[in-house]
Amino acid sequence: MDLRISRKHQARLDFVEGLKVHVAGQLMPSLRQEFENWCATETPSEDQLRDSQFMETTLGSNPLYQTSRGLQRLSQEAMWQEVIYGLEEQKPKIEDQLNTQEESKGSLTLDPDLKMPDYYDDTEFHLQPGNFHKNTLAGPIYELGVATYTMHRYGKAGDEMGRALVSVLPDHPYKRVLYMGCGPAYKGYPLIDALPDAQHWGIDLAEPMLKFAQHRATEHEKPMHFSQMNAENMTFPDGHFDLVYCMLLLHEVPTKAVENIVNEAARVLAPGGVLANLELPSYDSLDPLSAFLMDWDTEHNGEPFWRDYHNMDLQQTYRDADLEAHLTDAHSEWGGAKGNYMGKFRYHVTMGRKPEV
């Protein structure tokens, strides 16, 4: 599927991306320098710097802070607007492709009776209009939007997160692999490449995402079975998978849903199987300014569960599900090279293993 848009729309989207690059590359380093200069003079304590109220009071009226936050928010709104305008021109053609089942080594199973959780129905993640399930073009909109959102630092294939996860996967004879919250699933292609003899499954709540995922996987010859399912209540039998993974899923759900998903993952894992959750880093692993800037997304960038996720003890949640748990980290091309508006970072991977019987 050709997701290029016409020149006039791409020019408008290029401008919006340029704005994001400007915020990340010019405004944020200047703000960081001002903040560090202030810290050197005022010497706030670590506790103060980790207190969001203190940081808001310190930075809230700073012109650079206000400009960077305002432009970050407005550029996000403009990004989705321009992506949708650009793709709308091709809507009939894209829909036709999505509704055409082509022969593939994978499959697609939809459940039209699946009820969307209230938290999901009421949210537009990353401010994406219609969220992932209310627009038939949600998949292409997501792919084009996220490429702009991350300033193309995911690479052309958009799969750097999957490559990061592959780099830290423990050795194990993985026969069946499950990607929870797969969305368009291209981030999972590196796992298909790394584990070519395994059977790969992807589940998601959103029908538009799954239809796009299936179409895309067929085009790219990545055999994957897609099923519309809620990760909190999966229909797979006990012990069905050797590897269950997710990437940037758990911060999109309420704490209770995280617990349900981990419990379900533990249930469908075979003895010795692995649960791997790749996420952005915890607040306490970042410097105070980066942590404060990352927290901004909770209220202002369609990430309502972000703060609660970062405040929970996920390893304990794993242990409560009778999984052995530890934390590792993986290199991020997105967060490693030039940083994002919240600074440079590495991915955190919470690894769990189901004990052998």
Partner 1 sequence: MREAHGATSDYFSDVSKSDIMRVILALATEVYEMRDRQNVLETILSDSEIDLGRLDEKVEAAVYDQERLTERDAFVARVFAAMTNPNR
The DSSP 8-state label assigned to residue 302 in this structure reads S
CB closer to partner 1, 14 vs 299: 14
Is the Cβ of residue 27 or residue 257 nearer to partner 1 in the bound state? 27
User: Amino acid identity of 211?
Assistant: K
Residue 255 CA to chain centroid, in angstroms? 17
The distance in angstroms from the start CA to the end CA of the chain is: 46
Stretch 55-74: interaction string toward partner 1, x if CB under 8 A: --------xx--x---x---
Stretch that binds partner 1, among 119-127, 148-156, 170-178, 202-210 (CB under 8 A): 148-156
In the complex, least distance from residue 150 CB atom to partner 1, rounded to whole angstroms: 11
Look up tokens 């499954």; give the residue.
201
Nearer to partner 1, 3 or 116 (CB): 3
Question: In this structure, what are the phi and psi dihedrals at residue 351, rounded to the nearest 5 degrees?
Answer: -105, 130
Binding of partner 1 by 15 (CB under 8 A): yes
Token duo for residue 10: 């791409």
Residues 17-56 interacting with partner 1 (rule: CB under 8 A): 17-19, 21-22, 26-27, 30, 34
Strands, DSSP E only, in 58-146? 107-109
Nearer to partner 1, 151 or 206 (CB): 151
**Minimum Å distance from CB 185 to partner 1?**
22
Structure tokens at 73: 């928010």
Measured from the CB atom, the residue of 131 and 148 that comes closer to partner 1 is 148
Rank residues 66 and 101 by Cβ distance to partner 1 and give the closer one.
66
Provide the residue type at 277 as one letter.
N
Question: Per the structure block, which two tokens stand in for 1?
Answer: 């599927």
Judge contact between 133 and 205, C-beta under 8 A: yes
Residues 175-204 that bind partner 1 (CB under 8 A): none
Beta pairing partners, 352: 275, 325
312 part of the interface to partner 1, by CB under 8 A: no
In the complex, what is the shortest distance from the CB of residue 53 to partner 1, in angstroms, rounded to a whole number? 25
Q: How many CB atoms lie within 10 A of CB 324?
A: 14
Specify the DSSP element, H or E, that contains 300: helix 297-300
Contacts with partner 1 by CB under 8 A lie at: 2, 4-8, 10, 13-15, 17-19, 21-22, 26-27, 30, 34, 63-64, 67, 71, 147-148, 151-152, 156
